[in-house]
Amino acid sequence: MIKKLSVILVLIVLSNNYGQNMTQPPVAKIIPKTLSKHGHDRVDNYYWLNERENPEVIKYLEDENAWMKQQMAHTEGLQEKLYTEITGKIKQQDESVPYKENGYYYYSRYETGKEYPVYCRKKGSLDAAEEILLDVNEMAKGYSFINVAGLNVSPDNNILAYGVDTLSRRIYDIYFKDLRTGKILDYKITNCTGGSVWGNDSKTVFFTTKDNTLRAYRIHRFQIEDGKSDLVYEETDPTFTTYVFNTKSKKYIIIGSSQTLSNEYRYIDADNPRGEFTLFMPRKRDLEYSVDHFRNDFYIVTNYNAKNFRLMKTPVSKTGIENWTEVIPHRENVLLQGMEIFEKYLVLSEVDMGLIKMRIIEWNTQKEHYIDFGEETYSAYLSINPDFDTDVLRYVYTSLTTPGSTYDYNMSTREKKLLKRTEIVGGYNPEDYVSKRLYATARDGKKVPVSLVYRKGLQLNGDNPLLLYGYGSYGASMFPGFSAANISLLDRGFVYAIAHIRGGQELGRGWYEDGKLLNKKNTFNDFIDCAEVLIKEKYTNQNKLFAYGGSAGGLLMGAIINMRPDLFKGVIAAVPFVDVVTTMLDESIPLTTAEYDEWGNPNEKVYYDYMLSYSPYDQVEKKAYPAMLVTTGLHDSQVQYWEPAKWVAKLRAVKTDNNPLYLSTNMDAGHGGASGRFRYFKEIALRFAFMLDLLGMKE
């Protein structure tokens, strides 16, 4: 954090009373700072906004909030109506599907009118007495933000470890609760990722700490008996992060080190948690793999000579790559995403033509089949499956028209049992809506999938409002799922669409690689080309088309408005990563060094030049832009608040239009927004009201 006395003095001298006259939006002071690299100078007039503790910075953010509130005041009734409408669809008193592990059934539940979950268990039977592990509502008292994560019960069922973040920086303290007495132990571990792993002795706990850039870099071993800990592993390569986990068998504890293009693992027998870790195999550039254990072998999902990954195995005693043997071969058009191992079955999660498929293979006979999901566009993923010796697979299914549904699937009889479907209070009929998939032809001929949903009977005459969502980074696939909040848009005549653009992995590993590094502009071009196809196919028009993306999807928003500002009526950019070059040159900022293989290292001129050519902040020009709502959190650990703040300040100074431009900063939250079950929907209601207001819709 920059704290130069000279800068502070300049700020005091130039100080304006922001917010005193709200007939005009706040104007951030210009304090030029020259940033030089590769013989090239950039002048950043708003660099000073990165001083989080500077009162002038806080005042500016608060006045931007005040300006937005004033300008959106006439929509407050609409926002409240939307909020009530959205939260009214949520079942107040609700409970998750219990799962059984180590003799107990575990579940969480919500109580009417409360923001946070209550974590519970029952011993042996669902008819047994309830034992409350944690009531987060009680824990939240006195805090404006709280997140509880990493709940992990010791193998003897007596001690609960859990992480607590009350700042929204994703920095957790780990606490321990004796479940026999209800007492919180005196030990507290600070500066952690929140997760933990128990040794089988129920006395040893492994946890991960962060460095000053919030990179997870050390694994420690903690002894419950005396509260002492020792360092067992430190990741010294700043491009890697480290973590620790149990194999499904609970036989091994594994330390992983990962960066974008490679992985490395170390393992220890969980029965001997005070022993020394054994290196699985030395890291190798461009070799990615994950590890689990079954019987006498480690099973490995890897890209070794397999762009879309394949499944291999190796004896526990011989983990070098020369001993790996193939179980499931590579396929050119199908991405192997993951696996779940059972005593009699192997379950593979695959991505084929943008859809998740679950492939069931019987070990003994090698007979196989796929689960039939029955819809054109959907999402499905493996749920909690702790047991090896069972014929039942638990998975979750959802689509643009089907609320989240938890199933037990008998892999022998192929029977599905619906355990729970998220209830939409007030009634919801999926038959009232249409979901479909189309393919937009990008400018280079690639076919980009687009998932769509709208209310049945809607006339596709080119006059409908449409919200187009995109992400397109890190190989994250944006599979379509149900949103109860989106019903409020669909019932007002909106079409909702997801552009499955390059940078994700919906069409395999090549789809990701074609949207990163020096191919990053394909991501932006794809989104624009999808928008144009939606207009051409009469789903919407340029005066009713909206775009939305967050984080790296916020970078997407920033790029498309520079490239095609005429194409969109309004754009919503949440926690947007928009100052690409400056951030990627600053190794003190969280995530920078770990992401060189995603964006490139601008210390190399070829990447500097390419990043500069699309970086939204650097490419802002004197021209008309669409209406914009930009959101951030003061404590954001992923994308620092000053990126959107500087971006909005620069846009205000140079844009030639009179369209609304709002910056909304949550002064209590970070990257994920407000904590709690319902508070988050205030932010969604604001987004929806922003769009409806631009359309002149008051209801």
Q: What is the CATH number of the domain that holds 458?
A: 3.40.50.1820
The residue from 287, 306, 339 where one domain ends is 287
pTM over 0.95: no
Mean pLDDT, residues 644-661 taken together:
97
Coil, strand or helix at 201: coil
The residue from 287, 316, 351 where one domain ends is 287
Domain that holds residue 148: 143-287
Q: What is the mean pLDDT of the chain?
A: 93
Coil, strand or helix at 88: coil
Find the helix packing angle between 552-563 and 521-536, rounded to 10°: 70
230 is catalytic: no
Q: Are residues 71 and 112 in the same domain?
A: no
pLDDT digits (tens, 9 = 90+) for 226-255: 999 999 999 999 989 999 999 999 999 999
- What percent of the chain has a predicted confidence (pLDDT) above 70? 95
- Tell me the C-alpha to C-alpha distance, in Å, between residue 160 and each of 115, 120, 246, 388, 511: 22, 12, 16, 24, 42
Under a CB-based contact definition with an 8 Å cutoff, are residues 203 and 224 in contact?
yes
d(CA 326, CA 337): 16
Specify if 214 maps to a domain. yes
Specify if 297 maps to a domain. no
Mean pLDDT, residues 524-536 taken together:
98
Could you identify the residue written with the tokens 């239009």? Answer: 657
Sheet holding 310-315, edge to edge: 289-294, 297-302, 310-315, 325-328
Mean pLDDT, residues 341-354 taken together:
95
Residue 167: pLDDT band with limits 50, 70, 90: confident
Closest CA to 169 of 681, 678, 639: 639
Specify if 393 maps to a domain. no
Amino acid at 521: K
The residue from 268, 287, 306 where one domain ends is 287
369 is catalytic: no
Mean pLDDT, residues 485-494 taken together:
97
Q: Catalytic: which of 63, 165, 526, 636?
A: 636
Q: Are residues 83 and 218 in the same domain?
A: no
The alpha-helical segments, DSSP class H, found in 462-568 are 487-490, 509-513, 521-536, 552-563
Q: Examine the pLDDT at 426 and tell me if it is beyond 50.
A: yes
671 is catalytic: yes
Specify if 411 maps to a domain. no
Residue 676, pLDDT score: 67
Per 3-state DSSP, the chain is made up of helix, strand and coil in percentages (nearest 5) of 20, 35, 45
- Tell me the C-alpha to C-alpha distance, in Å, between residue 472 and each of 355, 595, 599, 606: 16, 15, 12, 22
Sign of CA dihedral 372, 374, 377, 378: negative
Q: What is the DSSP secondary-structure string of 90-103? A: B-SSEEPPPEEETT
Q: Are residues 83 and 101 in the same domain?
A: no
Q: Catalytic: which of 551, 615, 637, 675?
A: 551
Q: Examine the pLDDT at 3 and tell me if it is beyond 90.
A: no
Mean pLDDT, residues 648-672 taken together:
89
Residue 10, pLDDT score: 34
pLDDT digits (tens, 9 = 90+) for 189-199: 999 999 999 99
d(CA 81, CA 87): 10
Q: Are residues 502 and 469 in the same domain?
A: yes
Q: Examine the pLDDT at 33 and tell me if it is beyond 80.
A: yes
Q: Examine the pLDDT at 590 and tell me if it is beyond 50.
A: yes
Specify if 256 maps to a domain. yes
Q: Are residues 127 and 232 in the same domain?
A: no
d(CA 39, CA 296): 58
Mean pLDDT, residues 558-572 taken together:
98
| Residue 660 backbone dihedrals phi, psi, to 5 degrees | -60, 140
Mean pLDDT, residues 11-17 taken together:
36
The CATH number of residue 243's host domain is: 2.130.10.120
Q: Examine the pLDDT at 32 and tell me if it is beyond 70.
A: yes
Q: Are residues 123 and 231 in the same domain?
A: no
Specify if 78 maps to a domain. yes
Q: Are residues 120 and 247 in the same domain?
A: no
Q: Are residues 52 and 184 in the same domain?
A: no
Residue 469 is classified by DSSP as E
Residue 21, pLDDT score: 52
Q: Examine the pLDDT at 113 and tell me if it is beyond 90.
A: no
Mean pLDDT, residues 503-528 taken together:
97
The alpha-helical segments, DSSP class H, found in 225-284 are none
Q: Are residues 497 and 565 in the same domain?
A: yes
pLDDT digits (tens, 9 = 90+) for 622-637: 999 999 999 999 887 6
Helix (H) or strand (E) holding 597: helix 596-599
Coil, strand or helix at 379: strand
Residue 23, pLDDT score: 87
Q: Catalytic: which of 168, 526, 671, 675?
A: 671
Mean pLDDT, residues 395-410 taken together:
97
d(CA 597, CA 474): 10
Q: Give the chain's domain count.
A: 3
The burial of 139, by beta-carbon neighbours within 10 Å (0-12 exposed, 13-18 middle, 19 or more buried), is given as: middle
The alpha-helical segments, DSSP class H, found in 337-390 are none
Specify if 251 maps to a domain. yes
